[in-house]
């Protein structure tokens, strides 16, 4: 969607990104859950500004996601979780600029990053103030003892991507754990 084809609207129930072309695109929070309102300070929002699925992607992610981050800041949500893979990660998508720093500037609450971090790059991102937390997905799938491996500086198991989200135990419970002496 081109930037000229959308506008951002704020409503009491959340943020609505409305396309000016047929078929509105919406994202929001603050709806009723089980009959009770969900307070913003108990809501976290996860965004993938440069992620793509099949041929779906945003042509101007900075504009759109900064507007969303600013709206989430005004709502004072609990956290913003941003998935933007680092170069070198299997998830990396080529794009002209990193979007996360702009989102961090727009959102001053708890800021979580995800996407290709290792222990060292996570520490650097936290120490520099770029993020407050780093979420690890794939390393945990392949290393059920991931925190202990990081503490010990032990090597990580390689992930078997062919087994992700498939039936059966392969890829879920068959990765080797560290031995007591490792």
Q: Is residue 51 part of a domain?
A: yes
Q: Are 65 and 99 in contact (CB under 8 A)?
A: yes
Candidates 119, 114, 117; CA nearest to 148 is 119
93 in a domain, yes or no?
yes
Locate 46 and state its tokens.
């996860």
Q: What is the pLDDT of residues 77-100, one digit of tens each?
A: 999 999 987 767 766 677 778 899
Q: What angle do CA 130, 153, 82 make, to 5 degrees?
A: 25
Task: Give CA–CA dist 75/51, Å, rounded.
Answer: 24
Please, which residues have CB within 8 angstroms of residue 50's CB and are 6 or more apart in sequence? 57, 58, 61, 84, 93, 95, 99
List the CATH number of the domain containing 57. Answer: 3.20.20.70
Q: Is it the case that residue 123 has pLDDT exceeding 80?
A: yes
pLDDT at 97: 84
Q: What is the pLDDT of residue 24?
A: 32
pLDDT of residue 180: 62
- Host domain of residue 62: 37-135
- Name the average pLDDT for the chain: 79
Percent of the chain with pLDDT over 70: 74
For 103-137, the DSSP string reads HHHH--SEEEEESS--HHHHHHHHHTTS-SEEE-S
Within-domain flag for 50? yes
On whether residue 47 sits in a domain, the answer given is yes
**Is residue 31 one of the residues assigned to a domain?**
no
Measuring CA to CA, how many Å separate 128 from each of 19, 118, 169? 37, 15, 39
pLDDT tens-digit map of 20-59 = 333 333 444 444 444 457 788 888 999 988 877 667 777 7
User: What's the total number of domains in the chain?
Assistant: 1
Is 68 in a helix, a strand, or coil?
A: helix
18 is a domain residue: no
Number of other residues whose CB lies within 10 A of the CB of residue 69: 28
Q: What is the pLDDT of residue 96?
A: 73
User: Please, which residues bridge with residue 53 across strands?
Assistant: 56
In a domain, residue 27? The reply is no
DSSP alpha helix (H) spans, the chain: 61-75, 100-106, 119-127, 138-142, 146-152
């Amino acid at each position: 969607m081109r930037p000229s084809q959308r506008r951002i609207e704020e409503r009491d129930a959340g943020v609505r990104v409305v396309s000016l072309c047929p078929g509105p695109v919406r994202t929001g929070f603050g709806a009723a859950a089980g009959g009770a309102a969900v307070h913003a300070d108990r809501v976290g929002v996860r965004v993938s500004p440069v992620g793509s699925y099949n041929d779906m992607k945003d042509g101007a992610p900075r504009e759109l996601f900064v507007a969303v981050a600013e709206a989430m800041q005004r709502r004072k949500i609990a956290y913003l979780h941003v998935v933007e893979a680092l170069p070198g990660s299997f998830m990396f998508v080529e794009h002209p600029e990193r979007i996360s720093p702009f989102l961090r500037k727009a959102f001053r609450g708890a800021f979580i990053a995800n996407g290709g971090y290792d222990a060292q790059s996570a520490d650097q991102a936290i120490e520099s103030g770029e993020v407050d937390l780093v979420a690890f997905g794939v390393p945990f799938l392949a290393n059920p003892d991931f925190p202990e491996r990081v503490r010990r500086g032990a090597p990580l198991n390689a992930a078997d991507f062919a087994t992700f989200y498939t039936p059966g135990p392969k890829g879920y419970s068959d990765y080797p754990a560290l031995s007591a002496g490792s």
